Structure 1
Amino acid sequence: MNILVVGRGGREHAIIWSLKRNKKIKKIYCAPGNAGTATLADNIDIGELEFPRLVKFAQENAIDLVVVGPDDPLAAGIVDEFEAAAIPVYGPRKNAAEIEGSKIFMKDLLRKYNIPTAKYETFTDYNAANAYLKQQPLPIVIKADGLAAGKGVAVCFTREEADKALQETMVDKSFGAAGDKVVIEEFLEGQEMSILAFVDGETVRPMSPAQDHKPVFDGDKGPNTGGMGTYSPLPHIPQAIIDESIENIIKPTARAMVSEGRPFRGVLFAGLMITKDGPKTIEFNARFGDPETQVVLPRLQSDLLEIFQATINGSLDKIDISWSNEAAVCVVLASEGYPSTYPKGLPISGLDQISDEDALVFHAGTAIQDGQIVTNGGRVLGIVGRGPGIAEARANAYETANRISYQGKQNRTDIAAKALL
C-alpha cells in the first residue's frame, strides 16, 4: 500500500511511526512533513490546504489511503475533496469536522442533546458580549468560535484579563475571523482528561485516556499553548470516571452527530474536566490530538492501518483494539518566546545520540537547513519516555530531553507530576 499523511507536526510523525509497523505498507509520503517525518517517509512540498495539488499527487502516485492530521484542512473540507476523487481517506467530512471548527456549533449541539458541558452564552457583537461579561463571576473563560491553532481560549481571573481577552479576540482580531464570534462560559474546576476515540457513526472505540498540560510554565502558569506535554495512562483517575465520560459524553455525542445528519468518521477527541459534579465537556476536536497522539499511539498494540481501514469499510465494531500497560510521558521542547513570537532556524544538537530505546523523539517544528536539523516552530520536539509506570516513563523522557539543546530551549519540568502525588 501507498499512504499519504497530511500535516507537519508531532502528531503526524507519531502516526507515521505507528503505521510503519505494518509490513503491508510499501511507501509513506508526508505533505509537507518535517525533519522527523523525513526519516520515515518521503516529504512532499505541498501545503495542507492545497487540496487540488494533494488530490493530483494522490492520483499520480497510486495512493491507497490518505490520513489527515490537522484541524484546518478537515474544517475546510479536505475529506470531501478526496472522496469526490474516489480516493480512500481517513477523517471526518466538513459537516462533521464542524464539531471542532465552530465552538458555538459544538456547544449548541451539547445543549440540544443534554450532554454535560459548562454553562455558556454566545455573541457576535462586542458590546453585547462586554455587557454580559461584566455581570459574570470570575474566573471566566472566553473562546474564539473558530480555529486558532490551540490559542483562542483565555481563562480570565481578573476583570482586566477578561476585558483584554475580549478586546483582543473581537476587536483587535488577534485570531482573525475565528474571533468574529465568541463563547463566554463558566470556569470549570477539576482535573483535565483527554479521551480520543476511533469513531464510525455510532460505533465508538475509545483509546486509552491521556492528560495534557496547556499553560506554558510550571504549575499551570502563563498563557495557554497547543500543549506542553502529556502522559498516559492516568493512574490517579478512577476507571469509573473514564467509563462515565465515555457513556455520558462521547457516545451520546457520536449519536447526536448521526441524528444531525453529520455522521462522524475518524478520531473524535473529547477534552474533559472532571468536576465535583462529574465529567463535563470542555471541547471536542475532530482529529488526533497533539501532543496526546505521541503518548497514546506508542501504547497501541493493535495495527493502526487495520483500524483506519475498518473505519472506512464500516467494520470498526468488528475488530479488537488492545493497549499496552506500559506508561508513556511526552515532554515538549519549545522555542523561546512561545506561544508568542519566537525565532526559527536555530541548530539542534544531541539528536544523533538518542535511540528509540532511550526515548521516542517526535519532531513538531523542525526543518532541514544545509544538512542540519533546525527549529521551525513554537513547539519543536516531543520527547516520549516509556516505562512500566509513570515515574519510570517520566524519568526517561526528562533524561533524554536534557541531552538535546538549541538556543532558547524551554520546557516544563512538571509534566505528569500530578499522577505521582
Structure 2
Amino acid sequence: MKILILGSGGREHAIGKKLLKDSVDLYFYPGNGGTDQIGKNIKNIHSPSELCFFAKKNAIDITIVGSETFLLEKIVDIFQKVGLKIIGPHYLAARLEGDRIFSKYFMKKYGIPTPKYKTFDCYQKAMDFLEETTYSVAIKTRGIASGKGVLLVKNKAEAKKALNSIMRDKKFGESGNKVIIEEFLQGNEASILSIFNGKNIIPFLSAKDYKKIGEKETGLNTGGMGTIVPNPHMTNDVWIDFKKNILEPTLEGLFLEKLTFFGFIYFGLMITSNGVYLLEYNTRLGDPEIQTLFPLMKSSFLHIIQSSLFQQKNIKIHWEKKLYSCCIVLSSKGYPEKYESGKVIKGLNSLKEPFYIAGAKKEKEKWITSSGRVLNVIGIGKSIHEAIKTAYDKVNKIHFENLYFRQDIGL
C-alpha cells in the first residue's frame, strides 16, 4: 500500500513511523530529514493540483493531511473530485479550525459551552470595547496564524499592544483582519484528539499541551513545547461532561450543517470549576500531542484509518494500560520569532526511540537544524513522573548551539 503524508514537522514523522509497522510505502510532501529516512520526500510540486496529479500518477492509495495549511487550500475537495482517498475535512468543514468566527458561531448555535466573546473588524471599536473591559481577556485572530494567533492580556496596556500588533502591524497577516475578544477562563486545559468516520467521533486518550514558549506558561504562543498523556485533570466526571455537552452536540451539528468527513477532530478544552468549555476545534491531528499518543497506541493506525474510510460504526482503539507518556520539544533559541538554523546536532544517532524529527536535515552523515522546532523527545513510564524523568534524561543527551527547551513540562 502507498500512503502520502502532507506536512513537514514532527507530527508527520510520527505518523510515518507508526504506519511503518504495517509495511506500507511512504511518501511525504514536503517532509523533513526524518521523513526522508523512512520514505520518499516529494520535490518540485507547487500547488494542490500538482499534488493531486502526483497521487493519481503514482497510484497513491491513501493521503493523510497532517498540516492545516493544506486543508485551507481545499486539498481534500481537489482529491475527492478525482476519486482519490484522502483523510481530512473538505474546505467547508475545515473552517471549524480555519475560521474562528465561524467556529464560535457553530458552538453557539449548537449549545456547546464556550467562553463569552465579541468579534470586531474595526480597530477603534475593538479598542473602545477593551477600554471598558475588566481584565483578563484573550485576543484571537480570525485565522489560525500557524497556531500563534492567540494573545492573552492582563491589562489595558497589554491589550492595546496586542491589538496593534494584530490589526495595525499585521503581525499575522490577513488572519488578523478580524479579531475575537474572549473572556479568559481560569482552569486546566486539555486536548482531546479523535477520529471522525462520518458517523461517529471516537476520542483518543486525553493529553495536556504546553503552548507557551516560557516556563509556567509565559511568553508567546507556539505550536507546542511539550505534552503529557494522559491528562491528570480528565477525571471520569470531566469525560462525562465533555461527551454530553461538547462531543455529542458537535456530532449533531456536523450532521445538520452537512459538514461530515473522514478525518480527525481535536477538541481544545478548558476544565473549570463550573464545567468544561470548548476553546477551539482543530480538524487534524495535534502537534505534539499525537507524538505523545502514538507510543501508547497498541492498535494499528492503518487499520483505524481504513475502518474510518469504510465507515465502520464501532472503531476500537486499544491503548497501553498503566503507562504514561511525556514529550519534550527541543527548539532553536528565539523561536517562535527569529532564530538561527544550520546548527550541528550531537547525540541524535544514539538517541533511543521513541523520538521524532520536527525540523532537521541530514547532510554528509551529520544532522543539522532547519526549523524553529527541531526534535520531539518522548519518555515512557509506569507513572507520569517516570515518563517525565525518562524524557528529560534523553533530552540531556542532545546538544546543538542555541538549543532551548522548557524544563517544566508535566511538573
TM-score bracket, normalised by the shorter chain, equals over 0.9
Structure 1: distance between partners of 2:133 and 2:26? 51
Give CA deviations for 1:127-166 in whole Å, capped at 9, x if unaligned: 1111112111111110000020111000001211110111
AA in 1 matched with 2:48: F
* SS in structure 2 of the partner of residue 318 of structure 1: coil
The equivalent residue for 2:378 is 384
1:46/1:53 contact within 8 Å kept: no
2:199/2:311 contact within 8 Å kept: no
2:197/2:261 contact within 8 Å kept: yes
The equivalent residue for 2:388 is 394
AA in 2 matched with 1:34: N
The equivalent residue for 1:338 is 335
Cα distance change on mapping 1:46 and 1:263 into 2, 3 Å: farther
Structure 1: distance between partners of 2:394 and 2:305? 32
RMSD between aligned residues: 1.3
Deviation at 1:251, TM superposition (A): 2.5
AA in 2 matched with 1:386: I
Structure 1: distance between partners of 2:237 and 2:205? 14
The equivalent residue for 2:41 is 43
The equivalent residue for 1:319 is 315
Deviation at 1:287, TM superposition (A): 0.3
The equivalent residue for 1:369 is 363
**Count of aligned pairs between the two proteins:** 410
2:410 alignment partner, one of 406, 416, 420:
416
5+ residue gaps, structure 1, are: none
The list of structure 1 runs, each at least 4 consecutive aligned residues, that deviate by more than 4 angstroms after superposition, is none
Structure 2: distance between partners of 1:171 and 1:236? 39
Structure 2: distance between partners of 1:82 and 1:372? 37
Cα distance change on mapping 1:46 and 1:371 into 2, 3 Å: farther
Structure 2: distance between partners of 1:370 and 1:133? 54
Deviation at 1:370, TM superposition (A): 4.3
Question: Following superposition of structure 1 onto structure 2, how do residues 55-94 of structure 1 map, counting pairs within 5 Å?
Answer: 55-94=52-91
1:206/1:246 contact within 8 Å kept: no
Question: Following superposition of structure 1 onto structure 2, how do residues 155-194 of structure 1 map, counting pairs within 5 Å?
Answer: 155-194=152-191
The equivalent residue for 1:285 is 282
* SS in structure 2 of the partner of residue 207 of structure 1: strand
AA in 2 matched with 1:413: Q
Identical amino acids, percent of aligned pairs = 40
- Give the TM-score of the pair, scaled to structure 1: 0.95
Deviation at 1:238, TM superposition (A): 1.3
**1:218 maps to 2:212:** no
The equivalent residue for 1:5 is 5
The equivalent residue for 2:133 is 136
Structure 2: distance between partners of 1:211 and 1:350? 28
Structure 1: distance between partners of 2:269 and 2:44? 34
Deviation at 1:178, TM superposition (A): 0.4
Deviation at 1:85, TM superposition (A): 1.8
Structure 1: distance between partners of 2:261 and 2:188? 27
Structure 1: distance between partners of 2:32 and 2:120? 38
Give CA deviations for 1:177-228 in whole Å, capped at 9, x if unaligned: 0001110000011010000111123401100000000111111121111111
The equivalent residue for 2:19 is 19
- Give the TM-score of the pair, scaled to structure 2: 0.97
1:31/1:46 contact within 8 Å kept: no
The equivalent residue for 2:117 is 120
Structure 1: distance between partners of 2:83 and 2:234? 43
